[in-house]
Amino acid sequence: MKDSISTRKHLLGLVGSLYDQFENGIVPQISIPTRTKNNIEYDPNDKVWVYGKQKSVRSVKTVRGAKSLLKASYLVGLLIDEHLKHDRGSTLREIYYISENWDMAKFGEQSESDRLVEDLEILTELQREDFHVRPEEDGATIFGPLEIKESTRRGERRIHCQEDVGEAGYQIPFIVMHPTIDFLNFH
Amino acid sequence: MEIAEELAKNQKAISVAEFFEKNRQILGFDSAPRALITTVKEAVDNSLDACEEAGILPDIFVQIARRGDAFRVIIEDNGPGIVDDEVPRVFAKLLYGSRFHVLKQSRGQQGIGISAGVLYSQLTTGKSTVVTTKIGSSRPAGRWELTINTSSNEPEILSKEVVDWDRPHGTRVELEMEGSYVRSRRQSIYGYLKNVAIVNPHARISLVEPDGNVETFERVTDQMPQDSYEIKPHPWGMELGGLIKMMRYTEKKKLKRFFQSSFSSVGGIIAQDVCKLSDLDPEMAPSKVTHPEAKRLLAAFKEVRLKSPPTDCLSPIGEKLIRAGLEKEYRLDFMVTSKRSVSVYSGNPFLVEVILAYGGNLKKDGKAEILRFANRVPLLYQQGGCAITHAIENVSWKLYSLNQPGGGIPIGPVVLLVHVASTNIPFTSESKDAIADVPEIVAEIELGLKEVGRKLRTYLSRKNALSERKEKEVIIRKVLPRMAQKLAQILERDEPDINPVVAKIMGNLMVRRTFSRENGQTFVKLVVANYTDAACKFKLHETVSVEADLIEPSARVTPLGDGYDHLWKISLKSGERTTLSYVVPTDGTSFSDPVVEGQPEELVTGARVVGS
């Protein structure tokens, strides 16, 4: 996970580029990898699917594009001035409700704000946890023959997601990366 | 006796009435709902024709009432009335009328209509038809009970009496017949009268339905339709038999005189030429012309240059009246008309009027509504078999911004009204449901449709441009200022100048002034960029409280009140930009906004605009 100073720098870079485009008389726009099934490639090194080279441009030339960039600016404002500055956080759902207050920049529905958070992850190459954004308080659970190591406030725990938990399963924390979680065994 | 003689005994003449008794579908009495519609249609057509000829603004009353299993149909008008001698034959003799032998535009053509209603009533209920008519306020009204003798096609008068009637003049017909009353469809009495009202805005029509509901189609104009005149036949399209018949019965003694007096568009010179071409003596008696000679005459008429038939025999509805009629029945955003000039098919003059109405409360995803009219009579049935429909289907509506999936009738919030007026409308059948596919008529309708189509396309593209402009206004007035403010707040910097971006998005002429201060001097820079799609030539003024120094490029400087006006003449092609600069002392210098002279205000961003 990145520290909040470098996260802040990334986000400021994003809004800074919009600002500079205004100043230089360029119609503000951002380009972002196209999020369709044809635009993903398998990365054999990391063994994951990554976005391909296709980009789509969002610019203020259209009402849709302009509103989307306006919302992005407000969202970045929230992340920098509320989350990072005061070390707070919100769930995805909370972000949607916070936007109720944003006049024209208000989100139509939660899927829209969720998607915009994902856009910011892609643009900054960070993760939403870096923005102090987490999924619902009551997240998903897992039940099965998987052993993990979780760092909790009470120290490191080894948990087997079938033998060490009740019928309800193991609650997946909102950060599932090293060093919080280590996947140990699958048996 | 030979078989042939035996068979000959069974041969006998069939009266028209008997023929139609067995073939009622030919006259439009093939279904129960249709019988009522056809009866009302025939009676209303007669009333409108009569009123028009007498110069009376029509007031027509239609009532349909249930009588047991059957219906009672009453149609009353304020027309000129019918004289005693004529009443029985007008209503109770088929093929009796005043229009068949006349080349003139009228609704009725053969004189079958209302008597077919009388026949149908008599066949289905056995009741007689009651006619009341009055020809003047000082004259008594006559009340007749009539039936048709189907074997002789002659009227039978059951009773005739003189009655009191409070109308100054008019005619009232009451018939009883089997049928069924429908309301919601377009093919209904209501639908028919509604369409009649559209093309006859000078008529007032009221309808009382079987459930007591009253519908009134109000008169929207007191202007009578243009009069139509009777004309003589035109030699184009004259048939051999017709010509021979005319020559046999003419009163004229000389061939040349006969041509001059019996045909339209034929004068002395043409008559002479035709006789010469067919090698006949212009002085000979027409009745002496033989069959082969008549053939030669007909061929000769095709060779001489003839004027088109006269056009004043036709009475178009006129753009103004159709508009008034349509606006009465629909809420619309846009309406265009096309009136074609008079053309000719087979010697009959005809003209086509087309109206296209768009938007309003018309259905957006349905097929276009087609309103067909022939000599001001709405055509309700057999839409698929009509020349008007075929012409609509022939036009490629995609060219005119309408969808037309799989060809056929276009889709969209559209009403297409087509009116064909002619001295003789070529119907596909006697029930007058559809116009036959005469190539000349189809071609004229298509031309009219294309003309209104072009106007629709212009209207729609203008509407699109307008909504694009509105969309841009939202961006520049609402979204961009908020975005600039938010960005500035996050970055803790001054609000960025959004004007250059606004100018680019709007395709405007942009003026942007920036200052930089150094050693007590202010360096002023003006960037002027032409983002429009045309070349711009204009004047740029800078009014400053002192005279500027180091002006680049040079400007004309004139003292103006307390300060100095600096004037540049600028000419920029689309996409070009230029930079102007000057220097003034920082202390005590004041500026006003840059001023552009000689450009439309909505095309300039970043400067005040004054007229040139």
Question: How much is the pLDDT for B199?
Answer: 86
Q: Is B601 exposed, middle or buried (0-12, 13-18, 19+ CB in 10 A)?
A: exposed
Token pair recorded at residue B302 = 């095709």
According to the model, what pLDDT value does residue B205 have?
A: 93
Instruction: Report yes or no: A69 at the B interface, CB cutoff 8 Å.
Output: yes
CB A57 within 8 A of CB A29: yes
Confidence of residue B8 (pLDDT cuts 50, 70, 90): confident
Among residues B418, B413, B376, the alpha carbon closest in space to that of B395 is found at: B418
Tokens 């942009």 appear where? B510
H-helix or E-strand spanning residue B70: strand B70-77
Contact B531, B504 (CB under 8 A): yes
Is 0.80 surpassed by the pTM of this model? Answer: no
> How many Cα neighbours within 13 Å face the side chain of B378?
25
Q: How far is CA A51 from CA A54, B54, B280, B432, B499, in A?
A: 8, 83, 94, 69, 36
Using only C-alpha atoms, chain B has a radius of gyration, in whole angstroms, of 37
What string of DSSP letters covers B250-293? Answer: ---SSHHHHHHHHSTT--HHHHHHHHHHTT--TTS-GGG--HHH
Apex CA B412: angle with CA B406 and CA B416, to 5°? 95
Q: B470 pLDDT band (50/70/90 cuts)?
A: confident
Of the candidates A27, A80, A103, the beta carbon closest to that of B501 is on A27
Amino acid present at B483:
M
Q: pLDDT grade, residue B104 (50/70/90)?
A: low
pLDDT of B98 reads: 59
Comparing CB atoms, the residue among B478, B491, B529 nearest residue A15 is: B491
Identify whether A97 is a catalytic site residue.
yes
Three-class DSSP category at B567: strand
pLDDT tens readout for residues B164-192: 888 899 999 999 998 888 887 778 899 89
Q: What is the pLDDT of residue B108?
A: 59
Residue written as token pair 């090194």: A45
CB contact under 8 A, B497 and A74: no
Query: To which residue do tokens 């004027």 refer?
Result: B307
Spans of chain A below 50 pLDDT: none
Half-sphere exposure of B462 (CA within 13 A, CB side): 7
Is residue A12 less than 8 Å (CB to CB) from chain B?
Answer: yes
pLDDT 10s digits, B187-240: 889 989 988 988 888 899 999 999 989 999 988 888 887 766 667 777 776 777
The one-letter code for the residue type at A105 is: A
User: In this complex, do B501 and A18 lie within 8 Å of one another by their Cβ atoms?
Assistant: no
Q: Which of A26-30, B421-425, B490-494 has the lowest mean pLDDT?
A: B421-425
Q: Which of residues 524-563 of B touch A (CB under 8 A)?
A: 529
Share the mean pLDDT of chain B: 85
- pLDDT by residue (tens digit) across B368-421? 999 999 988 888 888 888 999 999 999 999 999 888 888 889 999 999 999 998
* Contact (CB<8Å) A19/B474: no
ipTM for the predicted complex comes to: 0.81
Where is average pLDDT lowest: B340-349, B363-372, B529-538?
B340-349
Residue B62: pLDDT band (50, 70, 90) is very high
Q: Where are the alpha helices (DSSP H) in B29-161?
A: 32-54, 87-92, 113-125
To the nearest 10 degrees (0 to 180), the angle between helices B480-491 and A63-78 is 20
User: Which residues in chain B are contacts of A67 at CB distance < 8 A?
Assistant: 479
Which 3 state secondary structure label does DSSP give B323? helix
Q: Please tell me the predicted confidence (pLDDT) of residue B469.
A: 76
- Supply the pLDDT for residue B107: 65
The alpha-carbon gap from B48 to the nearest alpha carbon of chain A, in Å, equals 56
Looking at per-residue pLDDT, the higher value among B243 and B311 belongs to B243
All residues of chain B having their beta carbon less than 8 Å from the beta carbon of residue A68 are none
pLDDT category at B472 given cuts 50, 70, 90 is confident
Could you tell me which residues come within 8 angstroms of residue B29 by beta carbon, excluding any fewer than 6 positions away?
A: B35, B38, B116, B120
